[in-house]
Structure 1
Amino acid sequence: MRHPIARAWQRITDAALSTDPRRRTLVSMALLALLLMASSAGVMLLLAEATQTMNVTAVRWWAAMSVGGLVVMTAFVRSGQTARLGDPSLTIAQMVWTITSGAVAYVLAGEARGIVPSVLAMILFFGTFALTMAEVIGIGVYALTAFGCAIAVSTRFSASTSGYIDTAYALMVFIVLGGCIALNLRIQRIRANLQRKREALAEALAVNRELATRDELTGLLNRRAMQDLMALEQRRALRTGRPLMLAQLDIDHFKPINDTHGHSTGDRALQAFASTVRASVRDTDVLARWGGEEFVLMMAETGPDDARDLLDRVRQAVEALSIPHTTGALRLTVSVGLAQHRTGDTIDQTLERADQALYTAKALGRNRVVLAPPGKGTGGVSARA
């Protein structure tokens, strides 16, 4: 059980930051910006009270406006009303506001305006990771313009008898601005490169996953992927009580094709066979290459009669297939062993029954579909040619 203080603190943070993870992050960042602005305003107020060169009333108004603007923005972020905006954290609005505030502070600070460049650097770095490259450039241009105006105004009304201090302050502001913009752009380029690498890695992983589950020659599921899928379908069939049929398909007399016409012709025959079977079955049926010229077809929520009718159509489509070759056209036939999955059996046991039915189809002359008996043993098979 959590300590009462911990529970109380959790309630307070949930009330302040929201319980939504995304909004919680946005509010936390907005509150950090507000804290930094409040701290900067506090420093300005302290200087105004301690020196005789600053207009205390003007600084107080500046502090109220600067902090108040961020308070309003933070409240909007917390309310969730910014969620549909392109910039839900109001990062650009906050940066424009704080840059404007910083430019005004530069004018009000008088001889103490040397503190402004450090605050400016903090503002520019604060939003770096939330901005795009174009937004960084836009913010940089705005900052240069705003502080250019501030420098011109402060120089115009400066009471200093020497222009060296004003020039030094102005140069420092532009040095800080230029450095911050350059570093921000560099950070954006690094982020872009990292994003490209992440996308390339994700694409490579997707390709690897595809290669790990697909037969390279036919594009069908491979044996391992099919085993996983059959195990999943077995559990579903057990839960729903709906029938599950498995079929073993074997291309008749395939070895002579390789021996007589070569493996490239055999590969084309396998591809043509896979495409023909895939076009003849339903979208819900799953075909996989089991190995060599052997294939497995899984038919969920399908009874024996419907499965046998479907496989007979597959057999006829394969029989009608013609594969062009230099010496003529190759013809294929297929033998099929079909078995219904029984409650209490494993998938391997069902496949073994389908394999026994396949051997029966071969023994009966090939080019036919044989349904394994529902009970134990191999007798009483039903064949269709």
Structure 2
Amino acid sequence: MALLALLLMAASAGVMLLVAHASAALNATAVHWWAALSVGGLAVMTAFIRSGATLALRDPSLTLPQMAWTITSGAVAYVLAGEARGLVPSVLAMILFFGTFGLTVAEVIGIGIYALVAFGCAIGVSSRLSANASGYLDTAYALMVVIVLGGCVALNLRIHRIRARLQQQREALAQALDINRELATRDELTGLINRRAMLDLMELEHRRSLRSGRPLLLAQLDIDHFKPINDQHGHATGDRALQAFAGTVRAHVRDTDVLARWGGEEFVLMLCETQLDDARELLERVRLAVEALEIPHATGTLRMSVSAGLALHLPGDTVVHTLERADQALYTAKALGRNRWVVAPSGPQHPPRPAAGPSPFNARV
């Protein structure tokens, strides 16, 4: 933008020089000095901006100094242009529009007042120097300057109002997108991440585990006999039970562990960089905490228990397959009487159903 302003000033100076050479009424020497100072001043500002020396300033683009310089230059040009000063209002309009997107409302009003004062002085000086001070052209030029100033300031303010409204709309849209993103990744009832977000996190941790060689464990957790809670005590009590369960589990796992609501009363816990023995102890703490949980309701106190299946993620396995192994371990925990956790075997064999014989899982009540 600074380079564009410099280019426009150079073009305007070129027009003034053409007029000075074509008209004997103009002081060519004064116009040459005016052109050199006008273009040179903007060139110095542009050099400072391009060098990065202005980055620490509140206005690193030097919008106000550039506009004040060009307005002053325009006012002087109005005096020097003589009968050709009808060219200046168009340049003035260009100057004022140039700062539309870099100034605050107060600055737009301030620069408009400065332009009015500067050109008021220029009109006064020009009238005194004019051989025909009362000529209709002087009056017409003065009125055009006032009209251009008023119109430009009014339009700038209108543009600022539009920009402010667009900014508010962008902020509202950003908030809506944040809410939608949160709804897309969070379970509204428990505040836990949902299934889709958990799958993404598990894939990410799967890749990290492959690179680092550190263990990754997945656990499937299921609240025992949850359907009767809804049937006998209502969905409101069931919702409170889910919230209490989620809060209890989160309170007994590490900050680096991730708990997600998988669906209904099912949850998935991802344990990163955790040894199998540590995971067993963690699940036992969770089991005891849930067993001790009391949820008041209209007719008394509700108690719950949890069953869990734990699987170590094996090199070469997919996350989906590890989840299936954890789910099979959970099935075994349910079949063995619930309120317990079961660790899935780390070998490739598929465990038989408990009814078919002794379980090959490590189980603990």
In the alignment, is residue 209 of structure 1 matched against residue 181 of structure 2?
A: yes
Q: Secondary structure at the match of 1:130?
A: coil
AA aligned to 1:242 is: R
User: Please, what TM-score do these two structures have when normalized by structure 2?
Assistant: 0.94
* Shift of residue 336, structure 1, vs aligned partner: 1.0
AA aligned to 1:95 is: M
CA distance in 1, matches of 2:146, 2:342: 86
- Counterpart position of 1:155: 127
AA aligned to 2:278 is: D
- Counterpart position of 1:66: 38
Deviations 1:149-178, CA, capped at 9 Å, x for gaps: 211222233221534222111110000111
CA distance in 2, matches of 1:231, 1:165: 78
CA distance in 1, matches of 2:133, 2:200: 85
Alignment of 1:101-116 (within 5 A): 101-116=73-88
In the alignment, is residue 129 of structure 1 matched against residue 101 of structure 2?
A: yes
User: CA separation of 1:179/1:81 partners in 2, compared to 1, >3 Å: closer, same or farther?
Assistant: same
Out of 25, 47, 50, the position equivalent to 2:19 is: 47
- Counterpart position of 2:5: 33
CA distance in 1, matches of 2:186, 2:212: 28
CA distance in 1, matches of 2:51, 2:133: 51
- Counterpart position of 1:243: 215
CA distance in 2, matches of 1:201, 1:242: 41
Q: Secondary structure at the match of 1:298?
A: strand
CA distance in 1, matches of 2:109, 2:252: 58
Q: Which piece of structure 1 moves more, 68-77 or 156-165?
A: 156-165
* Shift of residue 270, structure 1, vs aligned partner: 0.5
In the alignment, is residue 193 of structure 1 matched against residue 165 of structure 2?
A: yes
Out of 258, 268, 271, the position equivalent to 1:296 is: 268
* Shift of residue 254, structure 1, vs aligned partner: 0.9
In the alignment, is residue 377 of structure 1 matched against residue 350 of structure 2?
A: yes
Q: Which piece of structure 1 moves more, 102-111 or 286-295?
A: 102-111
In the alignment, is residue 338 of structure 1 matched against residue 328 of structure 2?
A: no
- Counterpart position of 2:280: 308
Out of 271, 288, 295, the position equivalent to 1:323 is: 295
- Counterpart position of 1:287: 259
CA distance in 2, matches of 1:350, 1:193: 51
Contact 2:198 2:260 in 1 (8 A): yes
CA distance in 2, matches of 1:161, 1:241: 91
Deviations 1:175-216, CA, capped at 9 Å, x for gaps: 011111111111111111112111111211111111111112
- Counterpart position of 2:115: 143
- TM-align CA RMSD: 1.4
User: CA separation of 1:336/1:108 partners in 2, compared to 1, >3 Å: closer, same or farther?
Assistant: same
AA aligned to 1:357 is: A
CA distance in 1, matches of 2:190, 2:133: 86
CA distance in 1, matches of 2:29, 2:21: 10
Contact 2:127 2:133 in 1 (8 A): no
Q: Percent identity?
A: 78
CA distance in 2, matches of 1:146, 1:323: 77
AA aligned to 2:29 is: T
Deviations 1:29-81, CA, capped at 9 Å, x for gaps: 21211111111112212222222322222222111110110110111112111
* Shift of residue 278, structure 1, vs aligned partner: 1.2
User: Please, what TM-score do these two structures have when normalized by structure 1?
Assistant: 0.89
Q: Which piece of structure 1 moves more, 346-355 or 124-133?
A: 124-133
CA distance in 2, matches of 1:316, 1:156: 98
Q: Secondary structure at the match of 2:101?
A: helix
CA distance in 2, matches of 1:60, 1:174: 27
Q: Secondary structure at the match of 2:350?
A: coil
Alignment of 1:19-30 (within 5 A): 29-30=1-2
Alignment of 1:83-98 (within 5 A): 83-98=55-70
Q: Which piece of structure 1 moves more, 157-166 or 58-67?
A: 157-166
AA aligned to 1:361 is: A
CA distance in 2, matches of 1:41, 1:359: 86
Contact 2:306 2:338 in 1 (8 A): yes
* Shift of residue 92, structure 1, vs aligned partner: 1.7
- Counterpart position of 2:53: 81
Out of 368, 375, 378, the position equivalent to 2:340 is: 368
- Counterpart position of 2:354: none
Q: Secondary structure at the match of 1:129?
A: coil
- Counterpart position of 1:359: 331
CA distance in 2, matches of 1:174, 1:137: 14
CA distance in 2, matches of 1:36, 1:350: 67
